[in-house]
Amino acid sequence: MTNSSNLLSGAKILLECLVREKVECIFGYPGGVTLPLYDALYEHSIRHVLVRHEQNAAFAAQGYARVTGRVGVCCATSGPGATNLVTGLVDAMMDSIPIVAVTGQVSTKLMGSDAFQEADTFGITRSATKHNFLVKNISELPQIVHEAFYVAGSGRPGPVLIDITKDVLQGQAQYVPVTEVHLPGYKVFSEGHAGQIRRAAQMMWEAERPFVYAGGGVIAGNAHDELRALVELLDAPAVCTLMGLGALPAEHPNFISMPGMHGSFAANMGMSHTDLMVALGVRFDDRVTGRLSAFAPHAKVIHVDIDPAEIGKNRHADLPIVGDVRRVIPKLLAEMRELAPSMQSRQSAARRAWWAQVREWKTEHPLAPETSETEIKPQHLMAEIDRLSGGRAIVASDVGQHQMWAAQLIRFNEPRLWINSGGLGSMGFGLPSAIGAQFARPDKLVFAVVGDGGFQMSIPELATIANHALPIKIVVMNNGYLGMVRQWQELFYNNRLSEVQLDSFPDAEKLAGAYGFKGRTVDSVKEMPAALEEAIGEPGPYLLNVKVSPFENVFPMVPAGGAINEMVLRPPQPVEV
Amino acid sequence: MQQIISLLMENKPGALMRVTGLLSQRGYNIETLTVARTLDPTLSRMTITVDVEPNIRAQVIKQMNKLINVLQATDVTECAAVNRELVLVRVRTGQQTRAAVLKEAEIFQARVVDSTTEGFALEATGDPEKLDEFVGVMRSYGEIEVTRSGVVSMSLENKKLRLAPPVRFGSGVDETLELQHVD
């Protein structure tokens, strides 16, 4: 007979498993079917952060995961709670961010009856997750929880959802800690093929115009030191994608900024002229490549990625290496060093010419901030944030023009400082992800750099920030427009500005004041730097609403479908203000 | 072109949904799909034919192999493999054509599974092209109804099944997965 004192509720078993996964913090929102879980959380050591909307729980969990590299956790109830998580899950899927979402489900006996707050979470989130689970039997719960964390955090990371029925959460069972996880169909290829690595090393010495294209995979794999060593040994110009910013320090002499649609002239010209592209943890996204058929036309491609399906998906890889960048790069370095005596100097003349060309591109059209005597240029604002950050602050961005200017102009000298929704481009991401980041790194200066559009999508989270007195510096780049959409309407839709003007932005001082913290609006270019300094000097949260020149657009720009060497470098015509 | 994929997968709830969802999500059109348990009741064997451009065939297989419930996805389009399908045909016949229909059925090695004064129900197996011909011939005798099973495929090559080993809890991901690169 089972000793009843050894029995635990499903909710408690879940929390035991989370403790074993070293979870310290959950972002969530309670509801009917998760009542047993919230009862178990009462006075539990795991911290629960009550957000104001489930979507923001997923974004906050992502912020936490992005700055720590650990699995972030969010939680929602059945039905609307679960469906509200979906954007955050797809966002994590696109950017390969490890999060585990726990959702409640109606009791097993009610499933399929269109019960109150019932939704087919398992079906809805199939394509929104790396993998998902439905737990209808309490005996499976511990195994599934550990499988979920293992899948989320290993290989190419991603979101995993566990849907747990109410009867499982409130049922009782003996808790037997799991000792191993076995997913026979889940194969992770991390080592890289030795022969391929040797050939890659050879190709790198043979190249006349080598080029390193590093992405989010380098950050996910914690391979920033390895990347730096490779860039230095090969002595090639290097770019980091929007997802990879910080993988190579922005101040590194070989770094030539971000490539792609709003990338630097040097980055895009480099890609267009290289004869050997060393692609590390990247997926040849359309925002990087522009028109694929015209992308890197002279280059052989060495593609290292942990996900075999990324290899050859968009661009043919002349030399594929399936593996973890952190495991593969040191092996590449060893092979290169071995070959160095006979090969290193072989292309030295060509390499010198290549670098001269790259430097010329760099000086020809640098990513320099625009400034004005009379108004605050958004680029100027980013340059000031950059000055105050010194390449060390965490910057959580929303989506749009400000995101591109921030990516172009704020330096990141370490990985895991730049947090943004790269693949999905989810507006409303900035503020909640800053919350997750600040919980993960209470010691760090965290900026939420947001537009006036995205900020208003996540405005309820001001309450969460106030609640925990999180010292986040919210900087609203306020141009009164959905700027990026307007930019496209100006350029490609005959300047017919349709539904992009955002009037009635609230008074920042009163808004912040209503939540009990400080805020102000600044519209004078002379006062702007001091206003930012004041925000940073404030020990608590700060809402700084910066009125920038409304009609500024992001350049350089590669029009959709264009080749990346056909950049528009400045506004096509003077813009009337 | 038609690509034939053979999948060995865990017989778990939702596994079929993952496969079909993946195919529609990536824009691959399913032509046929069959699934049944293997000798090991925890596993299922699925044969899918999809209509894809030849240059993305490898990508389809890679995406399938990423599904955690899929133990092995194999492209059997150009492998040594046996591909078979079953078709049931109801054909209406008048008195004067009954004998001819039976003769045609015999040529295709089809069996009569039901016979009435109005006609026959016939069952035939074979590769899909042969069944197309059979259906075409039956059609020439008048109105017919057809139900096809979809292709089942068995590879005749020895393909080693590679499975991920168990991972000890808390041992860390890096140390535990030392799988060989598979080209």
In this model, does residue A232 exceed pLDDT 60? Answer: yes
Q: Residue B25: which of A127, A151, A190 has the nearest Cβ?
A: A127
Distance of residue B73 Cα from the nearest chain A Cα, in angstroms: 10
Listed as own residue / partner, the contacts of A333-342 with beta carbons closer than 8 Å and 24 or more positions apart are: A333/A226, A333/A229, A333/A230, A333/A233, A335/A197, A335/A198, A335/A200, A335/A201, A335/A202, A336/A201, A336/A204, A336/A205, A336/A233, A336/A234, A337/A233, A338/A201, A339/A201, A339/A202, A339/A205, A340/A205
Q: What is the pLDDT of residue A102?
A: 98
**Scanning every residue of chain A, which has its alpha carbon at the shortest distance from the alpha carbon of B25?**
A127
CB atoms A123 and B17 under 8 Å: yes
Give the mutation candidate from A17, A183, A305, A316 for the B interface (greatest B CB count, under 10 A): A183
A447-480 pLDDT, tens digit each = 999 999 999 999 999 999 999 999 999 999 999 9
Average pLDDT score over residue span A435-456: 98
CB atoms B14 and A308 under 8 Å: no
Average pLDDT score over residue span B72-101: 94
- Are B2-79 and B83-151 in the same CATH fold? yes
How far apart are alpha carbons A274 and A14 in whole angstroms? 52
Q: Are B8 and B160 in contact (CB under 8 A)?
A: no
Q: What is the pLDDT of residue A151?
A: 98
CA-to-CA separations, B168 to A130, B55, B176, B177, in angstroms, rounded: 21, 39, 8, 11
As given in the structure block, the two tokens for residue A87 are 């954007």
Q: Which residues contact A33 (CB under 8 A, 6 or more apart)?
A: A77, A78, A104, A105, A106, A107, A117, A165, A166, A169
Percent of chain A whose predicted confidence (pLDDT) is above 90: 96
How far apart are alpha carbons B95 and B116 in whole angstroms? 11
Distance of residue A321 Cα from the nearest chain B Cα, in angstroms: 9
Q: What is the pLDDT of residue A573?
A: 61
Q: What is the pLDDT of residue B171?
A: 54
User: B126: phi > 0 → left, psi -120 to 50 → alpha, else beta; which?
Assistant: left
Residues of A in contact with B70 (CB under 8 A): 185
- pLDDT classification of A1: cutoffs 50, 70, 90: very low
Neighbours of A333 (CB within 10 A): 18
Q: Residue A188: which of B166, B177, B183 has the nearest Cβ?
A: B177
B145-176 pLDDT, tens digit each = 999 999 999 999 888 898 999 998 765 544 33
How far apart are alpha carbons B53 and B151 in whole angstroms? 20
- Torsion over CA: A71, A76, A77, A81 (sign): negative
Average pLDDT score over residue span B97-104: 95
Domain B2-79, CATH homologous superfamily name and number: ACT domain (3.30.70.260)
**Scanning every residue of chain A, which has its alpha carbon at the shortest distance from the alpha carbon of B15?**
A126
- Enumerate the active-site residues of A: 54, 116-117, 166, 484
- pLDDT classification of A292: cutoffs 50, 70, 90: very high
Edge-to-edge strands, sheet with A394-397: A418-419, A394-397, A446-451, A473-478, A542-547, A518-522
Between A and B, how many residue pairs show a Cβ–Cβ distance under 8 A? Answer: 98
Average pLDDT score over residue span A508-526: 98
Average pLDDT score over residue span B14-18: 95
Q: pTM of the entire structure?
A: 0.95
Instruction: Name the residue with tokens 């240059």.
Output: B55
Residues of A in contact with B25 (CB under 8 A): 127
A445 closest CA partner among A512, A392, A519: A392
User: Residue A80 burial by CB count (10 A; 0-12/13-18/19+): exposed, middle or buried?
Assistant: middle
CB atoms B173 and A179 under 8 Å: no
DSSP H or E segment with residue A567: none
Q: What is the pLDDT of residue A61?
A: 98
**Scanning every residue of chain B, which has its alpha carbon at the shortest distance from the alpha carbon of A21?**
B170
Q: What is the pLDDT of residue B115?
A: 96
Neighbours of A439 (CB within 10 A): 24
A435 closest CA partner among A28, A125, A34: A28
Domain B83-151, CATH homologous superfamily name and number: ACT-like. Chain A, domain 2 (3.30.70.1150)
Residues of B in contact with A308 (CB under 8 A): 62, 65-66
A83-114 pLDDT, tens digit each = 999 999 999 999 999 999 999 999 999 999 99
In this model, does residue A433 exceed pLDDT 50? Answer: yes
**Scanning every residue of chain B, which has its alpha carbon at the shortest distance from the alpha carbon of A177?**
B169
Q: What is the pLDDT of residue A153?
A: 97
Q: Which residues contact A57 (CB under 8 A, 6 or more apart)?
A: A27, A28, A29, A51, A74, A75, A76, A85, A88, A432
Percent of chain A whose predicted confidence (pLDDT) is above 70: 98
**Scanning every residue of chain B, which has its alpha carbon at the shortest distance from the alpha carbon of A122?**
B14
SS3 category, A192 = coil
**Amino acid sitting at position A218:** V
Which residues of A make CB contacts under 8 Å with B? 20, 122-123, 126-127, 130-132, 134, 146, 150-151, 153-154, 177-193, 196, 307-309, 312-313, 322-324, 327
Q: What is the pLDDT of residue A463?
A: 98
**Pair type for strands B119-126 and B81-92:** antiparallel
Q: Say which DSSP state A113 is in.
A: S
- Torsion over CA: A292, A296, A301, A305 (sign): negative
**Amino acid sitting at position B140:** S
Residues of A in contact with B46 (CB under 8 A): none
Residues of B in contact with A151 (CB under 8 A): 68
Distance of residue A162 Cα from the nearest chain B Cα, in angstroms: 13
Q: Are A89 and A423 in contact (CB under 8 A)?
A: no
DSSP H or E segment with residue A224: helix A224-234
A316-341 pLDDT, tens digit each = 999 999 999 999 999 999 999 999 99
CA-to-CA separations, A211 to A562, A566, B48, in angstroms, rounded: 21, 19, 41
Peptide bond between residue A253 and the one before it cis (omega within 30 degrees of 0): no
Indicate the domain borders of chain B: 2-79, 83-151
Distance of residue A14 Cα from the nearest chain B Cα, in angstroms: 16
As given in the structure block, the two tokens for residue A58 are 């997923």
B87 closest CA partner among B133, B123, B121: B123
Q: Which residues contact A451 (CB under 8 A, 6 or more apart)?
A: A398, A399, A400, A401, A402, A403, A427, A476, A477, A478, A479, A482, A483
Q: Residue A189: which of B68, B173, B181 has the nearest Cβ?
A: B181
CB atoms B182 and A189 under 8 Å: yes
Residues of B in contact with A98 (CB under 8 A): none
Q: What is the pLDDT of residue A346?
A: 85
Q: What is the pLDDT of residue A5?
A: 66
CB atoms B182 and A180 under 8 Å: no
CB atoms A183 and B67 under 8 Å: no
Distance of residue A248 Cα from the nearest chain B Cα, in angstroms: 23
How far apart are alpha carbons B50 and B150 in whole angstroms? 11
